[in-house]
Amino acid sequence: MKKISVILSVIFGAVLLDILSKGVLLYLITGGVPLYGAAWDIVPVPYLMAHVFDFFNIVFTWNHGASFSLFRALGESAPLILIIFTSCIIGFIAHYLFTRAASYERIPLALIVGGALGNLIDRIRFGAVVDFLDFHIGGWHWPAFNVADVCIVVGVGLYLLNVFVARRKCLQQIKDGK
């Protein structure tokens, strides 16, 4: 029971941080927090909000595709296809997380599921995902991203690190004859 509550807390925390950060941003731009609507009708983009550091801005942009705006060429059917595809991936990872995941896999997978759910909520609400973190060096900008994307990347990084460490421990035990 404790493992389920920890998993759900991480998922809920990731989704909550993502929704709150995007909600504050939408509120600052529009004076309200729209619950749904076509992305292009809510806020024109790109919208520079603040120059924070020489290498970091807070911007407002809609991502109509997947990671790094992939699949934008699908046109009007892109949101529906991405909603179905993302839901299937979330379902697969969540099933594994709650039924088979080893202890070292739980937090990373929960972060991935939470981040994916945060972006899925945007895609269902607006047909696009709100991105606002803009890191750059000079005139070269990394594609804008959001808190959900950070959760996914951190989750994947932790997962890979944990798998590497677990594999190394297992190989050491085999070597030691245990």
- Residue owning tokens 């994307």: 149
Name the residue among 62, 79, 65 with its Cα closest to residue 144: 62
Phi, psi angles (nearest 5°) of residue 88: -65, -45
Based on DSSP, count helices (H) and strands (E) in the chain, helices before strands: 5, 4
**What pLDDT, on a 0 to 100 scale, did the predictor assign at position 13?**
98
What is the distance between the alpha carbons of residues 139 and 158, in angstroms, rounded to a whole number?
31
Q: In whole angstroms, how large is the CA radius of gyration of the chain?
A: 19
**What pLDDT, on a 0 to 100 scale, did the predictor assign at position 70?**
62
**What pLDDT, on a 0 to 100 scale, did the predictor assign at position 127?**
87
**Per-residue confidence at 149, pLDDT binned at 50, 70, 90?**
very high
What is the distance between the alpha carbons of residues 45 and 144, in angstroms, rounded to a whole number?
12
Q: Which residues are catalytic?
A: 131, 149
Largest Cα–Cα separation, the chain: 65
Beta-carbon contacts of residue 23 (< 8 Å; ≥ 6 apart): 33
SS3 49: strand
* pLDDT tens profile 102-147: 989 999 999 999 999 999 999 999 988 999 999 999 888 888 899 9
Name the residue among 21, 26, 19, 37 with its Cα closest to residue 114: 19
- The conformation of residue 44, written as its DSSP 8-state character, comes to -
Element (H, E) at 53: strand 47-53
Cβ atoms within 10 Å of 151's Cβ, excluding its own: 28
* pLDDT tens profile 51-100: 788 899 898 888 887 665 566 666 677 778 889 999 999 999 999 999 99
